[in-house]
Every structure is written in structure tokens, then in C-alpha cells.
Amino acid sequence: MASPTDNPGQLARILLAHEKARARAWTEKNIQALEVLLAPDFVEINLLGRFSKKEVLVSLVPAVTLHEFIIADPQLVVASPDAAIFTYRCIEDMTARGERITGTFHVAAHYARRDNKWLLLVWQITPFTS
């Protein structure tokens, strides 16, 4: 039986779709849609700090308004049959803590395959420097 990591192009399309779904869930503040994409031990690291899955779903999503999230230059690194790192540059426009934040950022999304599903394990966004 072929593993999804045997076809990196297909895996890249799957993870890109996951990242677009994650951004859409944030924009729509759709907690249920976001929860399905995240591993139980998920961690997010962003400009506001480090957050567990529960903190993201209960505190962060309601407090942050994502206006726009554009993905550019995606790249995939297959670490093992059950682990992949999907990186890209993004343009993000959001409001957090009453402050509008717009800029270009670098995202590293670490995925793990569990029960034959790809789940987001660690998501880190940092300011992009060229």
C-alpha cells in the first residue's frame, strides 16, 4: 500500500488545502472546523505568544479578527511517512488586542499523520525578512 508521502505533490496539495481551511476557519471564527484540523497536542506560536489547542479555540480565535490571509510560495519537506513540514510566505491582515497588524510573514506548519489523517501539530508564524 502506497503512503501519501510517496507522492509529495499530492501531499503538498492536501496540506495546502488544510492551511486554506485553517485560515477560512479563523476568518469565519468557526471553532468546530478549526478543531478538526488540529492535533490534540497542537501548539501555535505567533506574535502574541505560545498557545495550546484549548487556548487557541477558547481564547485566541474569539479575540482575533483575521481580515485576510494569502498563501504564497508553499514548500513541503517530508520528514517521515507520518511527518511533514509545510512552509510558506503569507500576507496577513488581522486585528488583535485592538491593534491592526498587516504584514508579510513566514509560516512553518508541522503536520503529523495520525489514524490515517494529517493533523496540524505545530503552527508557527514569524515576520518575514528578505
| Residue-wise pLDDT tens digits, 88-105 | 999 999 999 899 999 999
Count the domains in the chain.
1
Residues near 38 by Cβ (< 8 Å), separated by ≥ 6? Answer: 53, 56, 57, 119, 120
Per-residue pLDDT tens over the stretch 3-14: 556 688 999 999
Domain housing 119:
4-127
| Single pTM value for the model | 0.91
What CATH code is carried by the domain that includes residue 82? Answer: 3.10.450.50
